[in-house]
Amino acid sequence: MKNYLPIILVIFLFTACNSKKQVDLILKNAKIYTVDSNFTIAQAFAVTDGKIVEVGTTEAILAAYEAKEIIDAENKTVFPGLIDAHAHFLRYGQGLQNADLVGTQSWAEILTKLKAFADENKEGWIIGRGWDQNDWAVKDFPDKTELDKLFPTRPVILIRVDGHAAVVNQVALDLAKITAGQKLVGGDIVVKEGKLTGILVDNAVDLVNAIIPALKNEQNKEALLDAAKNCFAVGLTTVDDCGIDYTDVKLIDSLQKTGDLKMRLYVMLSDAKKNYDFLIKNGKIKTDFLNVRSFKVYGDGALGSRGASLLSPYHDAPKNSGFLLSDPDHFKEVAQEIYKNDFQMCTHAIGDSANRTILKIYADVLKGKNDKRWRIEHAQVVHPDDFKLFGENSIVPSVQPTHATSDMYWAGDRLGAGRIKSAYAFQDLLKQNNWIPLGTDFPVEDINPFYTFYAAVVRKDLKAFPKGGFQKENALTREQALRGMTIWAAKSNFEETEKGSIEKGKFADFIILDQDLMTINELDLPKTKVIKTYIGGINVYKN
């Protein structure tokens, strides 16, 4: 017996070694917020074929698995990859090729930027995005006078930060055949003393957008790849693109299949006949990277440009209540069509009238509790009587916390002291279904999801204003905000079984951060930096 002992020991060690399962990747020594249903904190996990095989302590994972690639997180925090439930991914990428007017402080500054842009880009349309007259000393809309002087032969369109208004020059107006006194539904061509000012609101902007030559595939490819690169750097691993055409979807799908585009996308198709025809004919599209089953409809415009549809007039424009962008019959028709085909309806609604109209149309179709996950995008100003319609009909409010802290300086002027109380009411909305997806609406806001987290939890701007937080009673807790940017965002996309938490069987989409979002001082939240981003266990960003 004595002689056999070394042999038995060798056999034992050999089988012990071999009992370790070979995996592609192990992450160890981390503080992992798994965002599972119990909000469990773990230390390590193993990944194979892009998916998580087990989550546990570092000791347990190393005892059970071996891998060529081992990430030592050095006690840093790890979170599920962040999901932006409402953004404009392609438009953001295209915007990187336009004149960037975000944060400009005056009309004069815009003109200087445009001259420089036109010198660098010598041909074709001059497209600028992101101006906001609320940031200027003189808070009036500009007009086209200076644009006509500077650019007498090249068409110019400068789109407001929210996309709901634009200033264009005479060349652009002529190309779009827009004349003074022309009327249209859901839009406004602003005229002063009988003359065109160049200011276009809502559907009037589309008259010009429609004649801008479509970007070539090559430019769109570059736009998508640039957008993905910037999103990975801030920890986003899935983005909802709210309102693009099926032709864009085809490009996205082909770039994902060749491996060029590594971002996972949830796409809402725009409310246009060609898109309905496409999806009804082809059915839902679902790959590991792409999910198309949803339509984006516009109920009304934005509060900043007074295009949001209100139940009673604007506090600062007593003759104006805003307007719906389509006749209610249109919303009813598409709701029926979408329901019939088992697709998801996502409708932009800012004003309390738009929210009420859409909630009632949804309720008529959905008829009580259901699992269709129809969404209202923004749900920004909701009449106190109407909150319950979300819960009673399982309607999902999809909100963007930075809108609250970007709008808070002037939203009270638009709405008055009473109505503002039920605006940006994220906690009240959350209570309706006990879950709520969060987004940024980039490029309307900065793409940084940590600004979203901070705005949701702290409700202050980046200069820590106002002192007590804006309508703080509607702040979310840190856990709620994190769920809103991960598992609840996944749920709003019908993807909660494959992503949104670090759990066995899910995609290995995760991020390593330089600080702990759940415990650091609240004013440090916006300074959070991503150290590494992984999608399906593949490193897509390294700081």
Residue 80 or 130 having the CB closest to Zn ion: 130
Smallest separation (angstroms) from Zn ion to the CB of 159 = 13
- Within 360-419, which residues bind Zn ion (CB under 5 A)? none
Smallest separation (angstroms) from Zn ion to the CB of 423 = 17
Amino acid at the residue 335: A
* Selected range binding Zn ion among 54-62, 380-388, 437-445, 530-538, rule: CB under 5 A: 437-445
Smallest separation (angstroms) from Zn ion to the CB of 230 = 17
Residue 298 or 323 having the CB closest to Zn ion: 298
Smallest separation (angstroms) from Zn ion to the CB of 242 = 5
Residue 256 or 400 having the CB closest to Zn ion: 400
Amino acid at the residue 494: F
Q: Figure out which of the listed residues 202, 441, 461, 495 binds Zn ion, where binding follows CB under 5 A.
A: 441
Smallest separation (angstroms) from Zn ion to the CB of 507 = 25
Closest CA to 186 of 201, 197, 196, 172: 201
- How large is the C-alpha radius of gyration of the chain? 25
Residue 36 or 407 having the CB closest to Zn ion: 407
Residue 377 or 461 having the CB closest to Zn ion: 377
Strands (E) in 330-487, as ranges, are: 344-349, 375-378, 396-398
Smallest separation (angstroms) from Zn ion to the CB of 447 = 13
Q: Establish how many alpha carbons lie within 13 A of residue 437's alpha carbon, considering only the half-sphere containing its beta carbon.
A: 34
Smallest separation (angstroms) from Zn ion to the CB of 441 = 4
CA 74 vs CA 392, 501, 531: distances in Å: 47, 21, 12
**103: alpha, beta or left, given left = phi > 0 and alpha = psi -120 to 50?**
left
Is there binding between residue 271 and Zn ion (CB under 5 A)?
no
Residue 147 or 268 having the CB closest to Zn ion: 268
Q: How do strand 65-72 and strand 21-28 relate by DSSP bridges?
A: parallel
Residue 401 or 536 having the CB closest to Zn ion: 401
How far apart (Å, rounded) are the C-alpha atoms in residues 170 and 208?
Answer: 11
Smallest separation (angstroms) from Zn ion to the CB of 487 = 22
Q: Which residue is nearest to Zn ion (CB)?
A: 441
Q: Are 523 and 515 in contact (CB under 8 A)?
A: no
Total number of residues binding Zn ion (CB under 5 A)? Answer: 1
Rounded (5°) CA angle 266-306-327: 65
Residue with tokens 């430019």: 219
Q: How do strand 264-270 and strand 236-244 relate by DSSP bridges?
A: parallel
φ, ψ at 356 (rounded to 5°): -65, -45
Residue 24 or 441 having the CB closest to Zn ion: 441
Interaction pattern, residues 178-197, with Zn ion; x per rule: CB under 5 A: --------------------
Residue 375 or 478 having the CB closest to Zn ion: 375
* Selected range binding Zn ion among 189-197, 226-234, 402-410, 434-442, rule: CB under 5 A: 434-442
Q: How do strand 538-542 and strand 396-398 relate by DSSP bridges?
A: unpaired
How far apart (Å, rounded) are the C-alpha atoms in residues 253 and 90?
Answer: 13
- Collapsed DSSP state (helix, strand, coil) of residue 357: helix
Catalog residues that contact Zn ion under the rule CB under 5 A.
Answer: 441
